[in-house]
Structure 1
Amino acid sequence: MDLPSLVVVLQAALNPNPAERKAAEQSLNQFQYTPQHLVRLLQIIVDNNCDMAVRQVASIHFKNFIAKNWAPLDPNEQQKILQSDKDMVRDHILVFVTQVPPLLRVQLGECLKTIIHADYPEQWPRLLDWVKHNLQDQQVYGALFVLRILARKYEFKSEEERTPVHRIVEETFPHLLNIFNRLVQIDKPALEVADLIKLICKIFWSSIYLEIPKQLLDPNLFNAWMMLFLNVLERPVPLEGQPVDPELRKSWGWWKVKKWTVHILNRLYTRFGDLKLRNPENRAFAQMFQKNYAGKILECHLNLLGVIRVGGYLPDRVTNLILQYLGSSISKNSMYTLLQPQIDVLLFEIVFPLMCFNDNDQKLWEEDPHEYVRKGYDIIEDLYSPRTASMDFVCELVRKRGKENLQKFIQFIVEIFKRYDEAPVEYKPYRQKDGALLAVGALCDKLKQTEPYKSELEHMLMQHVFPEFRSPVGHLRAKAAWVAGQYARINFSDQNNFRQALHSVVSGLRDPELPVRVDSVFALRSFVEACRDLNEIRPILPQLLDGKWYSKMMATWSIHSNFFPAEIFKLMNEVENEDLVFTLETIVDKFGEEMAPFALGLCQNLAAAFWRCMNTSEADDEADDPGALAAVGCLRAISTILESVSRLPQLFVQIEPTLLPIMRRMLTTDGQEVFEEVLEIVSYMTFFSPTISLEMWSLWPLMIEALADWAIDFFPNILVPLDNYISRGTAHFLTCKEPDYQQSLWNMISSVMADKNLEDNDIEPAPKLIEVVFQNCRGQVDHWVEPYLRITLDRLRRTEKSRLKCLLVQVIANSVYYNAVLTLSILNKLCVTTEVFNLWFHLLQQVKKSGLLANFKREHDKKVCCLGLTSLLALPGEQFPGEALERVFKATLDLLVAYKGQITGLSLSLSIYIYVYVSV
């Protein structure tokens, strides 16, 4: 396809008509492997005369094709891009990446990343020369852009893989230093200067992330870099040109430069500035860094934080990083000496105000409470949050320097409580009270262990925390619930106080404000866990019942239960958070079979919540999104419910239709992220149901297919339900031919056992499954004995690990137990009888220094061997010579003695444990 035709097809790919758009996409796919196709796409991307939308489509197609085909994962896969096309792309993309607008540069940058990661240095040895040449020319931005990608390739590499970094640093860092030096000397620099400095910072960051290159360990060279970083750190950010919009402002170039500078200095300090490092060279660097730079950086950081004190602006991430640096300095005597004179100002005028509820919180609370909740419980948000960093700083301060700081900080909090209590309603410092409660909750571990605070906690909760459950201010009601949860496990001298807190938390589940409801349900979990007498909870939980459903269920069931956590499911409909599910799990776990009347409803609600979470997760397409985590939590909660009602098999019949769609879908590739949890549910359903239904049998092929395709790591998990199918549905396993379960099991086991690429550990479930067949199908699978023995013997000959050897020998033992005459005839036919029994007896005779058997360690192993050996004793004398009979007798007696000793020892250990436990 020539260039004009390609432009026409790309334009058609933007057509609102689905048919024309689909035809264009098919045409692109048809011609994507033709020579020069990539080169033509690149020409369109950089053509300023071409429509921007077409250029963007071309860039996306270009990026996706390179990501998929430049370096196929399978090394044996045929290359789909001509070498001449690759050469041309490499030569031109370096120049074009700086000529295109930022929107297209992002796509080309991703392409460069793919190419560099695959080709440098072997297939692209001249890349570094190009970078070095352009660092000295007028193409500085392009060189820095490419060098950033190159350096990032090695950011997380191990020491052995980082060798190319040394040449990169040696060849380019002298030029970077010169450029950096020129840039910081520019008076009234433009925003483009910030972009260049930011790239230099990112290159430096990637180069020193895991290890400082030896060239930078030179004191003079390192000092030159540090002087520049300190210059950037100290220099005020230009006021002119700063965006007014907060989101744009924090992403503004000069604030990005400040952030990366602080980031680098933090990394040098926390990873390489520790005097406890063992390596002499690293320790010498740490001493030099502490002596020459750590204190100066601390001073700069305190100056930056001073802006907050007077109401100035500092991006959240910069504030967070600075507080991390200060927190790391607390334990170092020399640094704390510098910090100590300013600790009161820092603690009370900067750190504490950051802990208080603020205007941004209020706006988010009112305009988007769901986002408020998400941010409050998102670990990633904590990395950027000044509030989290402030909490961490206070906790570290009282942990490492508590003697001189804890009392005055608590006194400060008490004063806030006092001012709050004394002020009229319209003048109460609600936001400061919120910060004080946050501080009290954050310090719970310290306060619960330290007198005199430990003795006063209950009084403090009653006087300053629990009253806020009735506050007219929503965020204080939420904070009261959170703090109550933090202290739910203290020893209340008056159980009425525990009940009061529990009542308040439960009431919070119906608060009109979403964040209050969420904090309340999380606190409820702590109270349920802390409760020693469940009668404390039973009178309260009926408030949460869905009346109609409750009445219906109570009429149906004779088993009495007082509650159903309907409010939790209302919240799960609003918020996707795994902690919500944890609360439900805790309730189910605590009340066990009392959940029976509600098991079906619980599973239905959890299944509905699971599908919502999965749909959200697929839409978000994020690896760590809360929807995916909550989905896993839903499945775990379902397993907890199934376990709690395991003695009520009829319930499983009712629950099965609700769970079948989940099991069917998630046993395919769609369920790779939740495969283990789904297999656990399948295991419960196949073990505790009165019988295994045909619908449940329909899951067998899905598990076998997954195991053959991608799920070998889950073989131990798949073993459990397959065992249940064979042992509890033996008749169906033996008689059904559509599908043929016996044949599919053989196909899977023989494939796994014959696979030379699998380690011994990977195939251990295979012989266990053969054992299940022989033990449960005695006399009904004679035609499978020889095939299974053949693959067992083949694997036994090349097995190295004794554990797998024992499992394979146990297959033979089970076969003998299944039919001794048939097994011996097959072994004789294969001419391996003597070899097999010699190995078996050898494994039985091996002992440890302690005198215990080295092999067949479990009770089950010993029993299987005994069953096999005693089956030989029943053979007619002519089939088993006297000498062999003597060895079998001795081995059997030794096994029985060892087995008796094992169960006696277990009983003795259990008796001692019970005695000690009861005595305590």
Structure 2
Amino acid sequence: MGTALRNLVEKNKSKDREGRLTHGLIKKLTNYYGWAIKSNPNNVPAMEKAIMATFYHITSTDDEPRHEHCPTGGIVLEVVFPLLCHNDQDDELWKTDPHEYIRLKYDVFEDFLSPVTAAQSLVHMVCKKRKGVLQRAMAFVVALLTSPACSPRQKDGALHLVGTVATLLLKRRMYKDQMEAMLVAHVYPEFGSSEGFLRARACWVLHYFCEMPFRTEANLLRAVELLTHCLLHDSELPVRVEAAIALQACLTCQEKAQATVKPKIKEITMELLKIIRETENDDLTNVMQKIVCMYADDIAPIAAEMTQHLVATFTQVVETGGDGDEKAMVAMGVLNTLDTLVTVLEEQRELVAMLEPTLLQLLVGQVLGQSLLEFYEEALSLLYSLSCRGPLSADMWKAFEALYLAFQKDAFDFFTDMMPALHNFVTVDTPGFVSNENHLLAMYNMCKAVLEGDSGEDPKFHALKLLEVIILQCKGQIDQLPRSAGTKSLGLSDTGCGSTHYH
């Protein structure tokens, strides 16, 4: 097969861009062939049909409408549609282990091996590149959705197909004005379905149509109400996860809808925190970050409770370990959410001061204290956010000491990431910095280690800049700074460094 594909590349080199079979297309073909074979291990004719449909539709173009052996769009739909429908395996996993169901559905690493993802890509590509296929696909969908004999699983597949080509539908004049009516007629009713997977699919479809301009504001508000109700009250965990992601997307894209959920934003936030801890889903930490930014004033009264909840979630994720990269992404998302929370509440100094002990216990006691290197970047960003307002507390100066110890132990390579926080320790609370000569000595030792070590040019420039800031900021208060610091700075400046600014 590989030889045949390479020969096809050579054969098509003379064609224009649209007609050429590129190496990129070969990669796609390889992926699609893989799922075509895996999906039909005991059915060779079906396997052959899937492979041929994939090959001829990807390698043909509208410039060759009569491409040799090219099957019609209907065959592609016939082959791919079953992959878009909720199946027995999905149903069993949904009922027996909803947490694993969610993990598989949202795992970016699983997407590379997922026949469903491959089917989505193929449908989107064929509908975009081949004339008439989108029309046939929509006719196929309408026939299913309006048929009394349509089963719940077929309806799921039909709505899955619609969401897959949502971006195409919203760009085509003949469809974009009909989509709002389609949602009202065929998607909104599924929020009341007795089948959990159909309620989840309804949420998913609204997510993919979140940018659609609604002509009737009542229809937009109804969509947000349905998603909010699913998030807060649905009995099925996968439905609540899908509702949370779709709700955030709609609120981001539809400003008119943001006021609708304000009365329930505290309830929404706390429910979202519970789901994040229960599922350890990275997509939901992104949702939380955007909700925090969008409703900063509204969530301020529950900021302390949110912080406790997120810190507990981080601890749980780190302690359970297991799935390596996946767990790490969730933990990073939690740290980023905490960072966002502190940033949006920056002007409320008393509130941030109340959150500080809990956050420093996380940073010093867990991340730095346990040498969790994979989280140093996010932790240092959070430390910077906490140190933006002076005077700094005694606990913050203890965090500085912990940072210095971490540098000596295993954080040498993170010096550049430390710089914003180190800059704050010097400039935000200069009296506190110079009040203890150990602070100055620690800064000097870190800069000296970087300047004399094999750290690379960029960290050396940052170290030089930090020494410059100390000298200028603490003029007349740091006579004990070793003379070698000035000599080292002068020597490095001869190499021609540029200015570095910290914000």
TM above 0.5, yes or no, is yes
Aligned to 1:790: 487
1:274 and 2:3 aligned: no
TM-superposed deviation, 1:326: 5.8
Q: Distance in 1 between matches of 2:285 and 2:383?
A: 20
1:400 and 2:124 aligned: no
Between 1:504-513 and 1:327-336, the stretch displaced more is 327-336
CA contact (8 A) 1:320 1:386 kept: no
**Aligned with residue 211 of structure 2, among 489, 508, 513:** 489
1:528 and 2:258 aligned: no
Aligned to 2:278: 574
Q: Distance in 1 between matches of 2:337 and 2:93?
A: 31
Aligned to 2:294: 590
Aligned to 1:762: 459
Aligned to 2:392: 692
Over residues 3-55 of structure 1, what are the superposed CA-to-partner deviations in whole Å (9 max), with x where a residue is unaligned? xxxxxxxxxxxxxxxxxxxxxxxxxxxxxxxxxxxxxxxxxxxxxxxxxxxxx
TM-superposed deviation, 1:715: 2.3
Aligned to 1:409: 137
Over residues 386-415 of structure 1, what are the superposed CA-to-partner deviations in whole Å (9 max), with x where a residue is unaligned? 2221111110101111x2211111101110
Q: Specify the code of the residue in structure 2 equivalent to 1:677.
A: E
Q: 1:277 to 1:710 in 2, by over 3 A?
A: farther
TM-superposed deviation, 1:707: 3.5
Say which structure, 1 or 2, has more relative contact order (CA 8 Å, 6+ apart).
2
Q: 1:518 to 1:730 in 2, by over 3 A?
A: same
TM-superposed deviation, 1:783: 3.2
Q: Specify the code of the residue in structure 2 equivalent to 1:760.
A: E
Over residues 639-696 of structure 1, what are the superposed CA-to-partner deviations in whole Å (9 max), with x where a residue is unaligned? 11111111111111100121112211213563221211111110111113x5312222
1:646 and 2:346 aligned: yes
Aligned length: 487
CA contact (8 A) 1:545 1:566 kept: yes
Q: 1:692 to 1:274 in 2, by over 3 A?
A: farther
SS in structure 1 at match of 2:255? coil
Q: Specify the code of the residue in structure 2 equivalent to 1:413.
A: V
Q: What runs of 5+ residues in structure 1 fail to find an aligned partner?
A: 1-264, 280-285, 547-563, 808-857, 862-920
SS in structure 2 at match of 1:634? helix
Q: Specify the code of the residue in structure 1 equivalent to 2:414.
A: F
CA contact (8 A) 1:604 1:658 kept: yes
CA contact (8 A) 2:203 2:242 kept: yes
Instruction: Report 1:648-797 matches (<5 A).
Output: 648-664=348-364, 665-668=366-369, 670-688=371-389, 690-737=390-437, 740-755=438-453, 757-784=454-481, 786-797=483-494
Aligned to 1:458: 180
SS in structure 2 at match of 1:687? coil
CA contact (8 A) 1:679 1:717 kept: yes
Aligned to 1:110: none
Between 1:693-702 and 1:628-637, the stretch displaced more is 693-702
Aligned to 2:17: none
TM-superposed deviation, 1:340: 2.4
Q: Distance in 2 between matches of 1:789 and 1:696?
A: 28
Q: 1:539 to 1:433 in 2, by over 3 A?
A: same
Larger radius of gyration: 1
TM-superposed deviation, 1:276: 9.4
Q: 1:537 to 1:793 in 2, by over 3 A?
A: closer
CA contact (8 A) 2:262 2:298 kept: no
SS in structure 2 at match of 1:764? helix
CA contact (8 A) 1:305 1:319 kept: no
Q: Distance in 2 between matches of 1:373 and 1:705?
A: 40
Over residues 211-243 of structure 1, what are the superposed CA-to-partner deviations in whole Å (9 max), with x where a residue is unaligned? xxxxxxxxxxxxxxxxxxxxxxxxxxxxxxxxx
Q: 1:399 to 1:654 in 2, by over 3 A?
A: same
Q: Distance in 1 between matches of 2:333 and 2:57?
A: 34
SS in structure 1 at match of 2:126? helix
Root mean square deviation of aligned Cα: 3.4
Instruction: Report 1:11-410 matches (<5 A).
Output: 265=1, 273-275=8-10, 312-313=42-43, 328-331=58-61, 337-341=67-71, 343-348=73-78, 350-401=79-130, 403-410=131-138
CA contact (8 A) 1:317 1:385 kept: no
Q: Distance in 2 between matches of 1:753 and 1:507?
A: 58
Q: 1:609 to 1:306 in 2, by over 3 A?
A: closer
Q: Specify the code of the residue in structure 1 equivalent to 2:452.
A: A
Q: 1:526 to 1:726 in 2, by over 3 A?
A: same
CA contact (8 A) 1:320 1:389 kept: no
1:515 and 2:219 aligned: no
Q: Distance in 2 between matches of 1:614 and 1:374?
A: 17
CA contact (8 A) 2:207 2:245 kept: yes
Q: 1:720 to 1:398 in 2, by over 3 A?
A: same
Q: Distance in 1 between matches of 2:228 and 2:61?
A: 41
Q: Specify the code of the residue in structure 2 equivalent to 1:369.
A: P
Q: 1:663 to 1:321 in 2, by over 3 A?
A: farther
Q: Distance in 1 between matches of 2:319 and 2:6?
A: 41
Q: Specify the code of the residue in structure 1 equivalent to 2:353.
A: V
Q: Distance in 1 between matches of 2:478 and 2:443?
A: 13
Over residues 176-219 of structure 1, what are the superposed CA-to-partner deviations in whole Å (9 max), with x where a residue is unaligned? xxxxxxxxxxxxxxxxxxxxxxxxxxxxxxxxxxxxxxxxxxxx
Q: Specify the code of the residue in structure 1 equivalent to 2:447.
A: I
Q: Distance in 1 between matches of 2:309 and 2:266?
A: 14
Q: Distance in 1 between matches of 2:176 and 2:229?
A: 27
Over residues 814-853 of structure 1, what are the superposed CA-to-partner deviations in whole Å (9 max), with x where a residue is unaligned? xxxxxxxxxxxxxxxxxxxxxxxxxxxxxxxxxxxxxxxx
| Identity within the alignment, % | 29
Tell me the TM-score normalized by structure 2: 0.87
Instruction: Report 1:425-444 matches (<5 A).
Output: 428-444=150-166
Q: Specify the code of the residue in structure 1 equivalent to 2:183.
A: L
SS in structure 2 at match of 1:774? helix
